[in-house]
Amino acid sequence: MSQHSLARRVAAMAGASAVLVALAGCSTPAATGDPAQAAPGVSDDTVTIGAHTPLTGPAAAGYSSISAAATAYFDYLNDQGGVHGRSIEYLVKDDGYNPATTQTVVRELVQEDEVFAIVNGLGTPTHTAVLDYLNQNEVPDLFVASGSTSWNQPEKYPLTFGFNADYVVEGAALAQYAADEYPGKKVCLLGQDDDFGDEMIEGAQLALGEDGLTAVERYSVSNQDVAAQIGALKAAGCEINILGTINGFTALALGTAAQLGWFPMWFSSSSGADYPTLIGYLGEDVGPKLLQGFVGTNYLPALGGDSEWVALFQQINDEYNDGAPFDGNTIYGMSVAYLFAEALEAAGENPTRTSLIEAVQSGELAGNGILPLSFSEDSHAAYLGVGISVVDQGVQDYVGATYAVEGGEVTAVEQAPVALSGEGVPGS
């Protein structure tokens, strides 16, 4: 792994401690025991949090359902009594996957809506645009919906924590799986032209070596045409293509290749690997054929598995989400919401921004993933490993291969799924 990524995994404790001290100073009214004075966004009976997400624009079809699923989980939780007697109000604002709009809506959430925290802001280029702002204004920035390693810089951004397994981890896991299961195949990569693509490449090279990728192509979300990139990969003789793509561009890549009569193997980051979403793009006629054998990464309960978490989330979706389709994005959104509820419960009866951050980095949160959470004072990454999923006859499930990436090494590990408890209500 490159030095800059390794540096991001090693925190400067003094920076984090200084900001926590500053936060504590801002939150001293909590000592009175009056929850209404505990922190912005906290009243006697509610906790208000916010998020930016693409409800419109190029990423909406793949990701707009995440915030709806999170809202449905919070509605379910509120009907069970909420957390420490408070209901959670989740304010979701559309940024269209446009960084300039992200800046506007996040400022509205912080300055006008006075949210307690930003939770699961979505996108690498979009959230990067508000990273400094949130930390400078001492707003907890939790569980970012992106795998950029930028979120794991506790010395620079002590209030920011990721949720996704980072892209270095995903790129390394996919490349290692390719090397383990298909030795000798030509492995290539198509990646977004930002940190997403950069770090997928870095991860793949971690597993395969600096010269291990036969060809690399990049795309921009502003250009809905990848014919040149797919043509170049085909010409290079690529047999396995690793994708650092959002769902829409995953589908675009597969569809474009099919039009060229080219059918290589496709290995995708979790950000672009949700089977039902891809079927929505590709259509029921050709989608199942193009996606047979499609390889992805995941770190949450799998849609095609028999997890009790999936059964609970299906029930919540049916009752609280207006009959919306149930897919991997639904599981993702409810998993994030559950983790925030768990952190809020651990933050105490009169939560402050300080106690919330301390709860997240305590190392005691469990989440609901297939591997333990990695949060601590010196790591703001959620998952340092992923499982490999494969689509078979329309079912997307784990195949057993699971990889962790730490200290520059890619290692095969065993899954350790977190069991459902308390009907998905923290503290019950």
Helix, strand or coil, per DSSP, at residue 242: strand
Distances, alpha carbon 282 to alpha carbons 86, 118, 270, 279, 289, in Å:
43, 33, 18, 5, 10
Q: Residue 426: inside a domain, yes or no?
A: no
The reported pLDDT for the residue numbered 62 is 74
Distance CA 164, CA 152 (A): 11
The reported pLDDT for the residue numbered 21 is 41
Distance CA 315, CA 79 (A): 14
Number of domains in the chain: 2
Considering the domain architecture, whether residues 45 and 103 belong to the same structural domain is answered as: yes
Question: Could you tell me the CATH number of the domain that includes residue 112?
Answer: 3.40.50.2300
Considering the domain architecture, whether residues 173 and 134 belong to the same structural domain is answered as: no
Q: Residue 400: inside a domain, yes or no?
A: no
Considering the domain architecture, whether residues 139 and 37 belong to the same structural domain is answered as: yes
Q: Residue 92: inside a domain, yes or no?
A: yes
Considering the domain architecture, whether residues 315 and 254 belong to the same structural domain is answered as: no
Considering the domain architecture, whether residues 7 and 130 belong to the same structural domain is answered as: yes
**Residue after which a domain boundary falls, among 298, 327, 350:** 298
Considering the domain architecture, whether residues 158 and 194 belong to the same structural domain is answered as: no
Residues in Cβ contact with 284 at an 8 Å cutoff, skipping those fewer than 6 apart: none
Phi/psi of residue 172, each to 5°? Answer: -65, -40
The reported pLDDT for the residue numbered 11 is 38
Q: In what side-by-side order are the strands of the sheet with 216-219?
A: 216-219, 187-192, 240-244, 265-268, 295-298, 385-392, 395-406, 409-412
List, run by run, the mean pLDDT of 10-residue segments along the chain (428 residues): 40 40 41 51 98 92 92 98 98 97 98 98 95 98 96 98 97 98 98 95 98 97 95 98 96 98 98 94 97 98 93 97 93 98 97 98 97 97 97 96 94 97 94
Check if the beta carbon of residue 240 is closer than 8 Å to that of residue 185: yes
Considering the domain architecture, whether residues 28 and 139 belong to the same structural domain is answered as: yes
Q: Residue 389: inside a domain, yes or no?
A: no
Tell me the residue range of the domain where 174 lies.
167-298
Considering the domain architecture, whether residues 185 and 242 belong to the same structural domain is answered as: yes
Considering the domain architecture, whether residues 161 and 277 belong to the same structural domain is answered as: no
Considering the domain architecture, whether residues 101 and 232 belong to the same structural domain is answered as: no
Check if the beta carbon of residue 199 is closer than 8 Å to that of residue 226: no
Q: Residue 419: inside a domain, yes or no?
A: no
**Residue after which a domain boundary falls, among 263, 298, 333:** 298
The reported pLDDT for the residue numbered 256 is 98
**Residue after which a domain boundary falls, among 298, 332, 362:** 298
Distance CA 219, CA 258 (A): 18
Q: Residue 139: inside a domain, yes or no?
A: yes
Considering the domain architecture, whether residues 75 and 43 belong to the same structural domain is answered as: yes
Q: Residue 408: inside a domain, yes or no?
A: no
Distance CA 216, CA 201 (A): 8
Provide the 8-state DSSP code for 239.
Answer: S
The reported pLDDT for the residue numbered 323 is 82
Considering the domain architecture, whether residues 326 and 260 belong to the same structural domain is answered as: no
The reported pLDDT for the residue numbered 279 is 96
Distance CA 428, CA 423 (A): 8
Helix, strand or coil, per DSSP, at residue 72: helix
Check if the beta carbon of residue 224 is closer than 8 Å to that of residue 276: no
Q: Residue 399: inside a domain, yes or no?
A: no
pTM for this model (two decimals): 0.88
